[in-house]
Each structure stands twice: as structure tokens, then as C-alpha cells.
Amino acid sequence: LSVDPEHLETLKALRSLYDQQERWSDLINILQTRVDLEPETFELRVLLGELMVRVHGDARQAIEQWKTVLMDFPKAESAQHMLENYLSYPEYVNDISLILEPIYEEQEQWPALVKLHRALLDDPSLTDNVRREELWTDIGELYADRLGDAQSALQAYTEAFLVNPVEQDLRDKLFTLVDDQEAWVDFIPKLKNAIELINDPEMLVEDYLKLAHWSEKYLNDDRQAVDAYQNALRIEGDTQA
């Protein structure tokens, strides 16, 4: 190929031409040279990544191209959107998150950051409960502090609580939201499940008393309230024995 395009518009024209003639490999060869010669023209590298996927099916190399763009030009929306297309792919999401997370935080893209955290949680290889709790807690804080969505914050904090029900700061935030949202009916089954994971006697007494209070006052479930009070008394007795 003898064509040596000097400008992005020329490359765009060639792209259209090569699209019609299916000469994608020629365009890739041009771009692989030009991206190093004109690093400030980041759209060339974005386009190169697109073609790597389209022609060679090489998403990994394409992602590297888009990451390179964002490391130098964090406001390059085209590269950001390309990476976001791969958040649902478990094999890429962790790598992508290392680039996108600080960009979202710096640019205060809170809904996008929530979406990123959820994508990380959807990764079936994520079995680290400490990390899962951290991500759910972060989502809860984003909803509560940045997005003003108390209901979604409650849901996220509940997920974190079910992973680790003994984190005191999380418990305080969650129980406050349960009361503020009057969400006792929906939350009580989650509290009962969490109690099964708690070994700390003081915390168990606290949760059984809370379960008893909510059951009696808001569910009119006297039997459940009595059982919870008796469990609290039993644990206190065992602790003092």
C-alpha cells in the first residue's frame, strides 16, 4: 500500500473506502504506524482497537489500545465507551476497572462507578468475601452520599451485611436506613439469616433484641418476638455463667 495519510479526516475517508472494499488489514497497517507518530491524535488508537476486534477478533489487544488512550487522555469518551462495552465480560472486567475506576472518581461519574462495581460483583470468579463486602458497601455509600437514593443504598448495604454482618459501621448505617425507610417487613428475614453467621454474644443479643422489637411493634408477630427475647436472655445467661 502506497497511501500515507496525513490527517485524521483522510483516515476516516480511507476507513469508509476500505469498509466498502473490505481492505481492513491495510487500514490496520496504516494505524499501527500512525498511532506512534501522532500520539496526540488519540482517535487513531481508538479506531485501531475497533479494527483489531472487527478484523482479528482480538479484544485483548483492542482493550490495551483503549487503556493506553485513557492513561494519556482520561477525558477521551470514545475510548471510555469502548472499554465499557466489555464490562460484562468477566475475563476483562478487572483489568478494565483499574483504568476506569479512578477516572470515574476524578470526574464524579457516580452512576458509572456503581455500574462498574456491579460488573465486578457479577464476575463469577470473585469469591473473596472481603472484596464483595467492600464493593457492596461502596455502592451503598455512592447511593447514599452521592446519588441521594436511600432505597438503593439500603439494598446495597443489606447485601454487604449478608456477607459480613459484624462490621459495626455498616450495621449502624444499615439499621438507621431500615428505620428511616420503614423497611422492617422486608429486612427482618435478612436479619434472621445474618444472625446465623454471628458468633459474638454481645452482637447476637443486640440483634435478637432488635428482631424482637421490630417483630412486636411492626409485624404484630408476638410469637417471633417472644422467641427472639428468649434467645437474647439465653445468650446473656450463657455469657454470665
Predicted confidence (pLDDT) per residue in 124-135, tens digit? 999 999 999 999
Contacts of 192 (CB under 8 A, 6+ apart): 211
**What is d(CA 123, CA 113) in angstroms, rounded to the nearest whole number?**
16
CB 218, CB 185: distance < 8 Å = yes
The neighbour count for residue 206, using CB atoms within 10 Å, is: 15
CB 76, CB 56: distance < 8 Å = no
Q: Indicate the pTM of the whole model.
A: 0.88
pLDDT reading at 6 higher than 60: no
pLDDT one-digit tens code per residue, 119-170 = 999 999 999 999 999 999 999 999 999 999 999 999 999 999 999 999 999 9
Between these two residues, 237 and 232, which has the higher pLDDT value?
Answer: 232
Contacts of 108 (CB under 8 A, 6+ apart): 146
